[in-house]
Structure 1
Amino acid sequence: MATGARIAMNTAIAPMTTDVLTLSQLLSPSFPVGAFAYSHGLETAINDGLIEDADSLQDWLLALLEQGSLRADAVLLNAAYGSADPLIDASARAFASSSERLMETDLQGAAFCETVLAVWGHDLGRLCYPVAVGGIAAKLDLDVELATAMYLQATLGNLIAAAMRLVPLGQVDGQKVQAALKPFCTEIAAQLRDATLDDLHNAAWMSDIVAMQHETQYSRIFRS
């Protein structure tokens, strides 16, 4: 291949490559939002025997993606993309099903906003986590569908890591679960592109119930 052709090809793929790398940084486990401290109610679900192996974990997480809090997060991220409407963040807070779920999205969002301000210089204020991700994705001109898919995959990775400690679940099984759920992340991201608050709903009630029960669980490792 001629040098000129290589340069042209590299120029063509550069924007998408940059988007992926930027989102990988924003959603990396090393980005200081403290995601490792939260289980999103998984700790109680595992303690109660609702999740006991890789298959039951995958079913639980798929319900969150298709009908529950992860789908709601994807809606909120898209609604916040390019919009400064305070109703979006207020809706995210009102939609949290328990005090720990609210703490989880509020504190992670606050840490995310602080780091974004320090690194990129964008002042997002104090926003819930998915709202903040949607906000910075727009400011950095990142593709919203890609941002949604990567946000969902990163959140799943955090939850699977928690389950690996609690079930316990082997690292290979954890990776198999994440690989199996990856197509659903891209599918949901495509479905919810340009979603609004009118698309917000939740039918994963068991996840909400165990999140509430976690608040009074006697022995706990995670904050939610």
Structure 2
Amino acid sequence: MTTDALLTLTQWLSPGFPVGAFAYSHGLETAIETGALRGIHDLELWLTDLICEGGGQTDAAFLSAAYVAEPDAIHLVDATARAFAASAERLLETDQQGAAFCRTVEAVWGTQLGTLTYPVAVGHAASKSNIPLALAASMYLHAFAANLISAAVRLVPLGQTEGQALLAKLAPLIQITADKAMKMPDTELYSQCFAADIAAMQHEVQYSKVFRT
């Protein structure tokens, strides 16, 4: 891996890259509003489940599948990623972030990606840019967790130090999940974070909200 590849991936997954990740809470806003998530311990349990059994794991699997897919099969990976969105807002989240990612990568690097869901777009772009899959999957999951912790810091509220301590604590789990997702065949894909899915559905009709999802 070259330094250029590492720096490119870091740029793609940084909070400053214009995919609008800060505007989405993955249903977390409703979980906090309803009292299901009250503090750092609840957040740790919530994120652990999401990373291991929910959207974190499946996104890493779709990223990996897109990385190794033939160009004419990318649309099949993308269609499956869309089918795994359990609510309208989850589909909005992955669709809008993916579209923004594709537009920016094309404008800056000239890489033609089309219009893809977010994890599929990152995986396809990483493959085209010769960025190692293991690094792309683990850093994507790390950015996923970091964004949700950032949302929780604003909503619960939590201290910045508490949030960073939790992200560091989750790092080994993120790596284990990324390694597992890279080897997961499409016949074994699953997501079973039903509380998070229900929270995302309830967020669609939540009266007052800060985040889009």
Q: Which band: TM-score by shorter chain? A: over 0.9
1:21 aligns with 2:7: yes
Provide TM-score, normalisation by structure 1. Answer: 0.91
Conserved? CA contact 2:57–2:178, under 8 Å:
no
Residue 16 of structure 1 deviates from its aligned partner by: 4.7
Q: Which residue of 2 aligns with 1:42?
A: 28
1:137 aligns with 2:126: yes
Q: Name whichever of 197-206 and 22-31 sits farther off.
A: 197-206
Any gaps of 5 or more consecutive residues in structure 1? 1-14
1:56 aligns with 2:56: no
Conserved? CA contact 1:78–1:196, under 8 Å:
no
Residue 194 of structure 1 deviates from its aligned partner by: 4.2
Residue 18 of structure 1 deviates from its aligned partner by: 3.2
When the two chains are superposed, the root-mean-square deviation of aligned CA atoms in Å is 1.1
Q: Which residue of 2 aligns with 1:202?
A: 191
Residues in 2 aligned to 1:44 and 1:79: alpha-carbon distance in whole angstroms: 31
Q: Deviations over 1:157-216 (max 9, x none)?
A: 111110001000110000011011111111111222243322321011100000000000
Residue 22 of structure 1 deviates from its aligned partner by: 1.6
Q: Which residue of 2 aligns with 1:185?
A: 174
Q: Name whichever of 26-35 and 185-194 sits farther off.
A: 185-194
Residues in 2 aligned to 1:139 and 1:22: alpha-carbon distance in whole angstroms: 12
Larger Rg: 1
Conserved? CA contact 1:45–1:51, under 8 Å:
yes
Residues in 1 aligned to 2:2 and 2:180: alpha-carbon distance in whole angstroms: 20
Residues in 1 aligned to 2:167 and 2:3: alpha-carbon distance in whole angstroms: 22
Q: Which residue of 1 aligns with 2:63?
A: 77
Picking from 199, 204, 208, the partner of 1:219 is 208
Specify the code of the residue in structure 1 equivalent to 2:101.
F
Specify the code of the residue in structure 2 equivalent to 1:107.
Q
Picking from 146, 150, 157, the partner of 1:168 is 157
Q: Which residue of 2 aligns with 1:128?
A: 117
Picking from 94, 102, 106, the partner of 2:83 is 94
Residues in 2 aligned to 1:165 and 1:218: alpha-carbon distance in whole angstroms: 18
Any gaps of 5 or more consecutive residues in structure 2? none
Conserved? CA contact 1:106–1:129, under 8 Å:
yes
Provide TM-score, normalisation by structure 2. Answer: 0.96
Q: Which residue of 2 aligns with 1:31?
A: 17
Q: Which residue of 1 aligns with 2:100?
A: 111
Picking from 141, 146, 152, the partner of 2:141 is 152
Residues in 2 aligned to 1:138 and 1:50: alpha-carbon distance in whole angstroms: 39
Conserved? CA contact 1:76–1:196, under 8 Å:
no
Q: Deviating runs (4+, > 6 A) in structure 1?
A: none
Q: Deviations over 1:52-93 (max 9, x none)?
A: 111110110000011111101011001100323111101111
Picking from 48, 56, 65, the partner of 2:51 is 65
Residues in 1 aligned to 2:45 and 2:2: alpha-carbon distance in whole angstroms: 32
